[in-house]
Every structure is written in C-alpha cells, then in structure tokens.
Amino acid sequence: MLSAFDEMRAYGGTVRSGYKALDTWLRDIAPDVLEYRRREAELIFRRIGITFAVYGEAQAQERLIPFDVIPRILSGSEWRLLEKGLTQRVRALNAFIRDVYGAREILRAGVVSNDLIFRNPAFRPEMSGLRVPHDIYVHIAGIDVVRTDAETFYVLEDNVRTPSGVSYMLENREIMMRLFPELFSQHRVAPVENYPDELLATLQSVAPSVAARDPIAVLLTPGIYNSAYYEHTFLADKLGVELVEGRDLFVKDEVVYMRTTQGPRRVDVIYRRLDDDFLDPLTFRPDSALGVPGLFTAYQAGNVTLANAVGTGIADDKAVYSFMPEVIRFYTGEEPILKNVPTWRCREPEHLSYVLDRLDELVVKEVHGSGGYGMLIGPAATKIAVEQFRAKLKAAPDNFIAQPMLALSTCPTCVESGVAPRHVDLRPFVLSGRNRECVVPGGLTRVALKEGSVVVNSSQGGGTKDTWVLDG
C-alpha cells in the first residue's frame, strides 16, 4: 500500500498542531474507558433510532452506522481554504446547470461536448428553457473531499442531487458533547448546530415570487423504507416543517397542496429527498407510486420550488466531473482552489486503452454510481476480479471512468487492538439560496474501519466521526 499522510502525526513524526491536546488525552485515557464510551454511544444511537437501511439485506433492515469516538480535527486555516474552494465550486456547478438547461454557452465554447450532455441519462430535456425560481439549482450540495497531505485537498465527487449524511454530522456532535464534555473545554470547536436554521432560511429564500410572505416548506420523503428515512425525519423535525410523502400532496390548477386535518394547504417549497425519476408519474417514471401526479406542471408554472432542482444529476456524473476544472474557469474566471482527481473517461478510446493497460493500478467507477457500489479498486482486487471487471468495462466503456489510487489521509480511530490510523474522507454541506451561501464548519467524516481499506461508504462497512474545525 501507499504510505499515507496521517492527520495527527503527518508521516509518523511529531504531532501536528491541532491534535496536540487530543494526543495527550488519548495517551492519558484508559483503553477500557474509550471502549465503554464507544458502547454508550452505540446504545444512544440505537435508542434514538439513528439507523440506515442497506438495500438487499432483508433481515438487517435497520442497521447502525458504526460511530468512532475519536474526533477528526481541521485547523481554522485549513477550513478557510476548504470553505473558499467549496463555495467556488458550487457557484460554478450552479452556473453550469443553469447554462446547460439555458443558453448552452459552455457547449458553444466547446469546453464540454454535446454528447456528454445530451446523451447523458441524467440530462432532463424537460428542463430545457425552464427558469427555476431565482436561478438556483443546487440548494444543497454534498461535496466529497479527500486529502493526501498537509496542503492538498481533492474533490472526489460532487453530490448535487439529494446528498445525505448531514444528520450524522449533527448527531455525532451532540453525542460527542454528551460523552466527552472535557474535550470540548480543551478545544474551541466551531458549532454546527445552526445548520437546520441555515437550511430553512435557504429554502425560504428561494420560494417562488407568487408565494405568501411566510412561504410553506415541506420535506418530501420516499417513505420509511428509504435508506435515509431517519435523516428525513430528523431534518423535518429540526426544520419544523412537515415530513410529507407523495400521497400527502396533490396538485390542483398547477398549485401544490398538502392534505391536512384542516383541509388542503398550499405548499411553496419542497425540499425533496426523492430522485427526479420518481417525482411525478405524469412526467417521469409512470410506475412511480412515490411521487405526486402533476407536480412537474406546477413546477413549470413557477408555483413551487423544488430543492434541489430537477436535472441537477447531470453534474453528479463522473464523466462531467472530469471537466470541473475547466467548468470552474469558464464560469468564474478563477483557478480552481480545490483539486480534481485526474480522471480518464473510458468513453474516449485513448483513455480506455490507457485504463485497460493499468487496471490493477487504477480505481474504476461507474459514471452514475454512488454508495461505493460497482467499483473496482485495482491495487486491492484479486486477479480474477480485475479480469471480470475488464469484461464489464469493455462491454460498456461509456459507463466508466478511472482514477489513480489516491493515498487518502488517515486519522486515529478506535479499533479492536486499540487506536490505529484509518483512512477518512469528508463530506461538507454547501447551502445556496437567494443572495446567501453557507458552509457549516465541519461536515461528515467517513472512516474506512478495515485496515488498509479506502472504501468509506456506510453500505460497505464504513463508519463516521465527528469533525472539528478549530479556531485559529
């Protein structure tokens, strides 16, 4: 394996500045106390019901994401850099999506090819020429960031459809404050608890202009069988908005209403955690029982705001991702602050043959994949798995991209043998409303609990950590 940068001890040397107090604390604390607290945290999580579902696992319908009690620490200056880079990136993403469904200048300028957009399954022709309220498409973005050394952050993925995980960011902090109050008195940790307020303000700021002064926002969930259902209930509760399912809403004369005990009530903003495909059986998948018939016509009429907008999936696409540095330059005129991982698009013959020659060195991903499913990690895969993947790749090269194996940074983590370094990533959440942008300091740190593993997805046995952004 590659030698990794450890966020506490760099490459095995002295403890880095932000981690000094934590290092002392870790050395002083008895191992059984750590273990005891870990169990306590697990018990609290289970009682609160913070669970997620793994599709295809019938008996384990509700599982707990393992929580690691050792926090991950970012210094104030590291965070400021990240924040600037994230804001820049999301601005560019918004401009890109608006352009793709509007003037299409980026296509005319030849920065990205027509094929990449128009032959992309995430492209929604219905959105062409449609103006969304206040021209904002990506109200909530979850940008996955990894780190390879003290100075270098890479964006690994842009999640701009319905990114999840923010409830863990909030709950992890709550639990840490409950379990380790003494740690918080030794560190000045920037708070994250204002996220729901920021989110609500963001949603209300983008209400259609026809809405009343106090616009009504709701959170639309696919229902209790969705893997992120817990998060939906959690957020609705913190936002103080109704958690609705498709059947709670109906459309009349191009206006969306919810069914309440006092009769129909108009809805202005829908924070939807339901994919485009399922939103409206009359416009998208006709077999969807989760959506609201007529919702899209209300959207077209400008009577309701969907957050995020329909069709943002185009920017989730990993082939589009590979153009992000150019996209950022095109719309902002600035150099990208956060790096992009070099990416080979297997749709292009030269790229494909390069990738096929180095399958055992590269990470190959599906362009529309998520959750860590369907990917090949060349250096960690068996010969047979590599060959099987080669066949898959040759059969449909358009569906894949490849990237070099990054040496993801590690953080001290509780494991069976004590405390050991494990690979981590970070998903900060970026909010964009009318005249407002906000990145709550921190985000969701995911950790690959298996030694050497770099797959942090919860569906693949990853865990989470609280993420601290310190003063200074």
Partner 1 sequence: MLSRTADNLYWLSRYMERAEYLARILDSTQRLSKLPLAYAGTSNEWESALLSAGCATAFSQVHAEANETTVSDFLGFSTDNPSSIRSCLELARTNARAVRTALTMEMWDAINGTWLELKNFGNGVSSREEFSRFLRWVRESSLLYDGSAYRTMLRNDAYWFSRLGVYIERADNTARILDVKYHLLLPENEWVGGALDYFQWSAILRSVSALTAYHWVYRESLKPWLVADLLILREEMPRSLNSCYEAIVRNLDSIAGAYGRQGLAQRQARGIRTRLQNSRMDGIFQRGLHEFLGEFITENNRLGAAIAEQFLI
DSSP per-residue codes, 8-51: TTBTTSSPPGGGHHHHHHHHHS-HHHHHHHHHHHHHHHHHHT--
Residue 237 or residue 451: which is nearer to partner 1 going by CB? 237
Closest CA to 367 of 149, 117, 176: 117
Minimum CB distance to partner 1, residue 46 (Å): 7
* CA separation for the pair 146, 407 (Å, rounded): 9
Q: Which of 3, 12, 13, 47 binds partner 1 (CB under 8 A)?
A: 47
Strand segments (E) across 384-439: 400-404, 410-415, 418-427, 429-433, 436-439
* CA separation for the pair 83, 49 (Å, rounded): 32
| 452's tokens | 């050497």
Part of the chain binding partner 1 (CB under 8 A), chosen from 52-60, 63-71, 242-250, 296-304: 242-250
**CB contact at 8 A, 437 and 423:** no
Residue 258 or residue 447: which is nearer to partner 1 going by CB? 258
Phi, psi of 412 (to 5 degrees): -60, 135
Asked whether position 233 contacts partner 1 by CB under 8 A, the answer is: yes
**CB contact at 8 A, 259 and 250:** yes
Residue 83 or residue 171: which is nearer to partner 1 going by CB? 171
Closest CA to 68 of 461, 469, 470: 461
How many CA atoms does the CB half-sphere of 291 hold within 13 Å?
A: 20
Asked whether position 39 contacts partner 1 by CB under 8 A, the answer is: no
Asked whether position 236 contacts partner 1 by CB under 8 A, the answer is: yes
Q: Which of 39, 46, 178, 436 binds partner 1 (CB under 8 A)?
A: 46
Q: Which of 35, 42, 126, 242 binds partner 1 (CB under 8 A)?
A: 242
Stated as kind and residue range, the H or E segment containing 193 is: none
Residue 233 or residue 332: which is nearer to partner 1 going by CB? 233
Part of the chain binding partner 1 (CB under 8 A), chosen from 171-179, 230-238, 345-353, 404-412: 230-238
Residue 291 or residue 462: which is nearer to partner 1 going by CB? 291
Minimum CB distance to partner 1, residue 42 (Å): 13
Residue 209 or residue 261: which is nearer to partner 1 going by CB? 261
Residue 97 or residue 220: which is nearer to partner 1 going by CB? 220
Minimum CB distance to partner 1, residue 52 (Å): 13
Closest CA to 192 of 215, 207, 180, 176: 176
Alpha carbon of 257 to those of 217, 254, 292, 293, 303: distances in Å? 11, 10, 10, 12, 11
Q: Which of 135, 174, 245, 366 binds partner 1 (CB under 8 A)?
A: 245
Asked whether position 57 contacts partner 1 by CB under 8 A, the answer is: no
Asked whether position 49 contacts partner 1 by CB under 8 A, the answer is: yes
Q: Which of 229, 296, 321, 429 binds partner 1 (CB under 8 A)?
A: 229
Residues 246-265 that bind partner 1 (CB under 8 A): 247-248, 258-262
Minimum CB distance to partner 1, residue 273 (Å): 14
Residue 96 or residue 257: which is nearer to partner 1 going by CB? 257
Cβ count near 430 (within 10 Å): 25
Asked whether position 224 contacts partner 1 by CB under 8 A, the answer is: yes
Minimum CB distance to partner 1, residue 235 (Å): 9
Closest CA to 67 of 164, 142, 176: 176
Binding site for partner 1 (CB under 8 A): 46-49, 223-224, 229, 233-234, 236-237, 242-245, 247-248, 258-262
